[in-house]
Structure 1
């Protein structure tokens, strides 16, 4: 679906254009993955290629802007007192079902870019607290690490990326976590 191009409003339109690009990219990444056409993203946002590249000099910059909301949502949940590891993993799973691109970007970066490494470290930090609490409570094996959790989340994202239907992704995610829990729980 393409949006009609609007007349150029100059610098006054910058914030609106950026928001439109992020919204269009979110939909495109969810539908087509990380390698989605940036031309299609610009077209869906109703802006030209030049506007896209003024805001986001490369694909990764656009992806990071799109997924800042996702990581923020995870960090907010993890910061709430009493949040469990299961709750954080459930939200990661919801995000993976909606868009495997975010989870794959964090767990299996396409390139060793410092921006991705920083994003991955943010996810590791938010998992650490829940993991430590679950281990203290005796619900998770002591040898399980945040790296193990990221690996499990990455495996989940790889499989979910192959399933085109959201209902299938949801059912598969539930079955996968049931199996993975047997490996990490005491």
Structure 2
């Protein structure tokens, strides 16, 4: 039975286009969490549930699994780029933001391991995003830093990302920090940009 508001009751506001941006942001955040907890093969419906939206809203924003993964990857890279451009963060601080994304986002780890073999679809896009991460990090790399040699920076990032395993975010962070320590690289607080 449909209930109609009484004269003194207000209908919820229809935010129209404003809601679309909020829904998309909620879906990206939910996908990051779901992928971190259950891997990239997690049910699509779990993302919608976590974001608090219907599955139709999910499909309106992201028609398939690759579109969601691409959005998560893009957001992660954008935040690393913003951290690198920030006047407030040192190189160690930028590494802290990137490490947060490594521990929070299974999709981000795959991005950093994108190789030449998978240069189609999302893999080619992931390779381009990996190059953006390298440019952002390299722009902040202090002169004479131990990771300054040609391929050392992204090799170190790949090594650390390979160590980011474990059932909990805390365990993944602990392992990432241990890997950076073994590489004798200082990392700032592990947190999202602005966190």
Same fold, TM exceeding 0.5? yes
Identify which of 150, 157, 168 aligns with 1:165.
168
- Corresponding position: 1:154 with 2:158: yes
SS in 2 for 1:29: helix
Are 2:143 and 1:134 aligned? yes
State the SS of the aligned residue for 2:153.
helix
Structure 1 residues 19 and 140, CA gap change in structure 2 (3 angstroms): closer
Query: What is the CA–CA distance in structure 2 between the aligned matches of 1:53 and 1:98, rounded to whole Å?
Result: 23
Is 2:28 the counterpart of 1:18? no
1:22 Cα deviation (Å)?
2.1
Aligned equivalents of 2:96, 2:25: Cα separation in 1: 27
Q: SS of 1:181's equivalent? A: coil
Which segments of 5 or more consecutive residues in structure 1 lack a partner in the other structure? 1-8
1:1-186 matches, within 5 Å, as 14-81=20-87, 83-102=89-108, 104-109=109-114, 111-112=118-119, 113=122, 114-131=124-141, 133-135=142-144, 139-140=145-146, 144-145=149-150, 147-161=151-165, 163-181=166-184
Deviations 1:12-40 (A, max 9, x none): 65444433322321221221222222122
Which structure has the bigger radius of gyration?
Answer: 2
- TM-score of the pair, normalised by structure 1: 0.71
Q: Which moved more, 1:30-39 or 1:12-21?
A: 12-21
Partner Cα separation in structure 2 for residue 165 and residue 79 of structure 1: 30
Q: Are the aligned partners of 1:83 and 1:130 in contact in 2 as well (CA < 8 Å)?
A: no
Say if 2:73 and 2:107, in contact at 8 Å, map to a contact too: no
8 A Cα contact 1:100 1:158, kept in partner = no
Greater shift after overlay, 66-75 or 88-97? 66-75
TM-score (norm 2): 0.68
CA spacing shift, 1:141–1:33, aligned 2, 3 Å: closer
Show structure 2 runs of 5+ residues with no match.
Answer: 1-13, 186-195
- Pick closer, same or farther for the CA change 1:128–1:16 going to 2, 3 Å: closer
Q: CA–CA distance in 1 between the matches of 2:93 and 2:51? A: 34
Asked whether the 8 Å contact 1:100–1:157 carries over to 2, the reply is no
Count of aligned pairs: 166
